[in-house]
Amino acid sequence: MTIKPLADRVVVKTKKAEEVTKGGIILAESAKEKPEVVEVIAVGPGGIVDGKEIKMELSVGDNVLISKYSGTEVKIDGEEYTILRQSDVLAKVL
Assess if residue 4 is contained within a domain.
Answer: no
- Cα 89–29–20 angle (5° rounding)? 85
Does 20 or 43 have the greater pLDDT score? Answer: 43
Looking at residue 25, its amino acid is I
Assess if residue 3 is contained within a domain.
Answer: no
> Percent of the chain having pLDDT more than 90?
63
d(CA 79, CA 40): 14
Widest distance between CA atoms in the chain: 52
pLDDT digits (tens, 9 = 90+) for 48-68: 888 999 999 999 999 999 998
Q: What is residue 21's predicted lDDT score, i.e. its pLDDT? A: 62
Assess if residue 1 is contained within a domain.
Answer: no
Assess if residue 15 is contained within a domain.
Answer: yes
Assess if residue 2 is contained within a domain.
Answer: no
Number of domains in the chain: 1
Q: What is residue 75's predicted lDDT score, i.e. its pLDDT? A: 93
Assess if residue 84 is contained within a domain.
Answer: yes
| Half-sphere exposure for 86 (CA within 13 Å, toward CB) | 21
Q: What is residue 64's predicted lDDT score, i.e. its pLDDT? A: 96
Looking at residue 60, its amino acid is V
pLDDT digits (tens, 9 = 90+) for 33-42: 565 899 999 9
Domain that holds residue 55: 9-92
Q: Which CATH number do you get for residue 65?
A: 2.30.33.40
Assess if residue 53 is contained within a domain.
Answer: yes
